[in-house]
């Protein structure tokens, strides 16, 4: 049996769909949000059952031998969360328990880290740099960084384990994420209502408005790579970046949304809120050489192709 935590969330639910495509249906879904509360993400997908994250810890403590592999996508994913104890419990301590279970049972683990560990990028964006050098810009980033550091220090580990540093992921099934939704999803909603899109001005003289750079990656690239890591027995355990590998501007991202909706580009520039201005990243770009060296497929969805697929085949059909 395969376990997917965060299964009723964004990346987790797309992963369950990808596993189904591979003919895999013996899946235990774990999520604090029930199907009744959020019916859309797991609709029409095949899995055994959905249990809460608390019940899953009980399952692990019952010495369960039916689990073959764990995809641990469940966590607090809010980059603006200010409750340190909550983040420590959910993103650090919970993941330690899952890691230790996989070690004890000798089963594989893939867990979600984050590109947020790199902070302002002063130390670069390489997954081969000692993670202790990074200074994340928010508590969420620290919670992910602290676990990466802990995992790399362990002498006893699962036989295969991969910590994946997701960069700016966008795609279907993120609709519930409120303020944490991708700019593609927000753009579609705003353009539908007002025919225009609000974007942050630049408060850095090195970047023009809308020319701030990010590594945007489509969720379908992410889940395909996860399946490839799950299936291969050759990839070296450790931490890997997961982005497209090429920084693009915010304007590059939203222009295809207007195009897919058949509307002229109209941008309204707004100030970055004071509470996040000091933790705002002006440039992110994942170094993908380490992941590619493990024989995985190249990114298949550039911004133009990914946004067109997302808007045309998902957002416009909701």
What are the catalytic residues?
140, 177
Question: Given the structure tokens 């039916």, which residue do they identify?
Answer: 66
Provide the sign of the torsion angle of the four alpha carbons 49, 51, 55, 59, taken in this order.
positive
* Helix 94-105 vs helix 53-61: crossing angle, to nearest 10: 30
Ramachandran quadrant class, 202 (left: phi over 0; alpha: psi -120 to 50; beta: rest): beta
Measure the CA–CA gap between 217 and 174, rounded to whole angstroms: 14
Q: Tell me which residue of 4, 1, 286 sits closest to 173, measured CA to CA.
A: 4
Contact between 169 and 301 under an 8 Å Cβ cutoff? The reply is: no
Beta bridge partners of 161: 109
Q: Hey, is 5 helix, strand or coil?
A: strand
């Amino acid at each position: 049996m395969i376990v997917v935590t965060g299964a009723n969330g964004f990346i987790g639910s797309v992963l369950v769909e990808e596993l189904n495509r591979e003919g895999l249906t013996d899946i235990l879904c774990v999520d604090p949000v029930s199907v009744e509360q959020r019916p859309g993400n797991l609709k029409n997908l095949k899995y055994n059952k959905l249990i809460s994250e608390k019940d899953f810890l009980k399952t692990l403590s019952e010495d369960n031998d039916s689990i073959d592999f764990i995809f641990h996508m469940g966590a607090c994913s809010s980059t603006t969360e200010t409750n340190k104890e909550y983040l420590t419990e959910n993103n650090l301590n919970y993941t330690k328990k899952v890691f230790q279970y996989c070690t004890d049972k000798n089963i594989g683990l893939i867990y979600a880290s984050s590109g947020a560990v790199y902070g302002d990028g002063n130390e670069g964006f390489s997954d081969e740099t000692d993670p202790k050098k990074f200074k994340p810009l928010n508590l969420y980033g620290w919670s992910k960084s602290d676990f990466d550091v802990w995992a790399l220090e362990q002498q006893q580990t699962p036989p295969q384990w991969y910590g994946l540093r997701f960069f700016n992921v966008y795609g279907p099934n993120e609709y519930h994420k409120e303020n944490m939704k991708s700019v593609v999803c927000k753009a579609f909603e705003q353009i539908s209502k007002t025919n225009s899109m609000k974007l942050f001005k630049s408060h850095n003289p090195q970047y023009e408005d809308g020319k701030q750079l990010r590594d945007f990656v489509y969720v379908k690239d992410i889940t395909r790579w996860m399946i490839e890591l799950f299936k291969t027995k050759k990839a070296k355990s450790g931490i890997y970046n997961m982005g497209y590998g090429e920084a693009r501007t915010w304007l590059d991202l939203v222009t295809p949304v207007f195009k897919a909706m058949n509307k002229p580009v109209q941008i309204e520039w707004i100030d970055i809120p004071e509470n996040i201005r000091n933790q705002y990243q002006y440039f992110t770009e994942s170094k993908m050489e380490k992941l590619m060296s493990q024989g995985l497929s190249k990114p298949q969805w550039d911004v133009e192709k990914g946004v067109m697929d997302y808007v045309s085949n998902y957002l416009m059909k909701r």
